[in-house]
Structure formats: C-alpha cells, structure tokens
Amino acid sequence: MQSIYWVVTWACHRRCPHCYDDRFRPYVHDALERVIAEGQRAYPRILANLPDAMRWRDAAGASHSTSLMLAGGELLIDGVRERLFYPLLDGIADRWGDDAPRIAVQTTGDILTDDHIEAMLRRGVTSIAVASIDDYHVGHAGEGKFRLMVRLRAMMARQGVTEIDLGLARTKNISGKSPSRTPGAGGPTFVFFGAQPDLWIGEIWPRGRAWINGLSNADYSTNFCARWSGGKGFLDLGRAGSEVAIEPDGSLYPCCVKTKLPIGSLAEERLDDILADLRAEPALRAINAGDPEGMGLASGWSRENFRAAAATIDPTGRDFANPCIGCDRYFADHLGKVLAERRQARLARNSTACLAGIEPVDQR
C-alpha cells in the first residue's frame, strides 16, 4: 500500500466535540486496562497479516516505502506509551528490519516531550504529525494553537526534526517560516494540521461526536471518498493512492472516515487476501473509483436511490445530505450481508487449505 492508517488505541486524554468516533476518550482503571489489552492482543496478528513487502510503485514504476501512520487516541499517554506503542514500534522493526515502512505518528502534541521524541526516533519513527491545530481542541482555540506551535517548533529543533509544509496550510502563522521539504527526503520531519476550514477535512466528517454535535458542514457535493484518506484507490494494492485504515482490534476499512461496517479483519486474515477477494464486489469497486453514488448500481440501487438514501436529519435537527450517509445505508441494507458471506467463504477456503497443507489460492 502507499499508506496505511492504523488506530492503535481508543484511549485519549481528550474528548473533543468534533471527533469522528466517540470511542476516542479518556479511560481510567479497568476501562483503560481493557483498551490497552485490546491493542496488545491484536497488534502482533495485524503485523503478521500486513504485506511482506511494504512498498508501492508510482506511475513511472519507481518503488517507494509504504507510509505507516500510527495514531490514537493519543499514543503518548501513560500506560499506552510504554505498554503498547513502544512495543509496537519494536515489533515493526522485528517484522521488516531494514525494509520497514516509513513510520509516521499522529499526536495532539500538547503532551509531547523531548524524551518522547527521542524514544520515537530511536525506534524508527520518521515523521510526527501534530493534528490539533484548530479551534476544537480545548486550549488551542484562537492564539492557543500558535503558542503550542512555537513550543513544539523549539522542541523539534532540539531533536533535529525538520518542519515540512504539505501544502495544507493557508495562513502564515500555521505554515511558519521553515523551508518546505519533501517527506522522506532525509532526516526526521514534522508537520502541523487540523480541522480548520482551509485544512484537509475543514467540513468535518459526519461521524462520531462531530455528527452528534451538528459540526459537519459537508453537503452532498462533498465527496470525502475521493479525497486524501478516502476510499479511492484502496483496492489497488501496491499502487499509488492505495490506502486502508485499521482499528485497534484489526477491523479493516477502505477509508479513514470508516464505512458503516468493516470490510474484514487483519486479526484473522492477510490484507492481500482480503483485498484480492473484494475486487470482485461491484460496490467496493465503486468506492475504489471514488464514486460512492455508484455503489448499488449492480444490485438495483440507482443513483437516484442512493441520493435519496443520503438525505437525513442530523441529531441537531438540521437537514443534511452527504454520500457518507448513503454509503452507510447501503452497507446496512445490502453490503454488510454480502461482506459477511464473502468473509465466511474466505475463512473456510483458508481453513481447508491449511488442513491440506497448501497455500491459500490467490483469488486475483
């Protein structure tokens, strides 16, 4: 894959109103133990079921390392950091050695320390993304975000980590004065971004607490599926644009926004096998093309049917319409059952192959 977005834990020290999943929140005592244990159980199996070659090829045929984005929650909070996050980084090194993917870490940045940065760099992290540069994170509203950025820039400089501009920033305060630099051009890097109107998901995904609080400003013309970290290209294993998202228990999704149901589990099966099988499913080919409106064409859902299903009333009483809502309803009404049947068939084939002592057949 070109990129893999792996949510390692639900544990977070914040409960932001715009968060796309209500499971991202503070956990204490037994509840924290449970979410840490979930990640501890799953990550060795997920690592084993990721591709042996974490590479992709661009249009010219040049080979590049996969970008593996590790995120929470917040990976640097006490408990998660030493018991789950750092062991996972060590596991990545054990799995791929010198052929390891480029490891990026997403953090809110407000609890980041020099020691954390040093520990991550020592374990192979090449990029740190500070994803809280917006007005939704308590303490970061207004000038608060810029004060945080000043502090983090000084900290990164002490550790030899260079700022890059991904072209997402639109204001001088956010883009800063550091020279633009291509990710992976040499040496560790960091970047700032957040849910601002002119940054990445400015409209905010219609998910989680953002949905409950009526904060998504997306309309029907807002096609998250065709954007960065949307579903477009997710089936194209080894090619430019390919990306999938993983939850702590190994649940697999075609996008960071997340479909109504997972398309498989990396705690059970190899990524290559899941994607090879799902290329036969027309609805997922539509997502792969960045055309969610076409998901149901092969099963009798016209584009008009999809548009009607994409219209709803949000929890605050607003009229709302977005392709993500239509996708959710198609999953609930039809695709969820199809995916469950395909999963059972794959597991049965693999079980039979294992009993026979042969490699599972590649369904491509």
Give pLDDT tens digits for 135-182: 667 667 777 778 888 989 999 999 999 998 755 443 333 333 333 334
Question: Rounded distance, CA 213 to CA 316, Å?
Answer: 7
The CA-based dihedral angle spanning residues 245, 249, 251, 256, taken in that order and rounded to the nearest 10 degrees = -30
pLDDT for residue 173: 39
Give the ranges where the chain is alpha helix by DSSP (H). 29-49, 80, 86-96, 114-122, 144-158, 172-175, 208-212, 271-278, 282-288, 303-309, 323-330, 336-356
Task: Answer with the residue of higher pLDDT: 342 or 165.
Answer: 342
Distance separating alpha carbons of residues 325 and 306, to the nearest angstrom: 9
pLDDT for position 234: 96
Quote the tokens at residue 130: 């500070």
The whole-chain average pLDDT of the chain stands at 89
User: Are residues 289 and 233 in contact, defined by beta-carbon separation less than 8 angstroms?
Assistant: no
Quote the percentage of the chain above a pLDDT of 70. Answer: 87
**pLDDT over 50 at 183, yes or no:** no
Give the global pTM: 0.89
User: How far apart, in Å, are the Cα atoms of 69 and each of 61, 88, 105, 171?
Assistant: 23, 12, 6, 25
| Residue 299 pLDDT exceeds 50 | yes
List of E strands, 12-85: 55-57, 63-65, 67-71
pLDDT at 17 over 80: yes
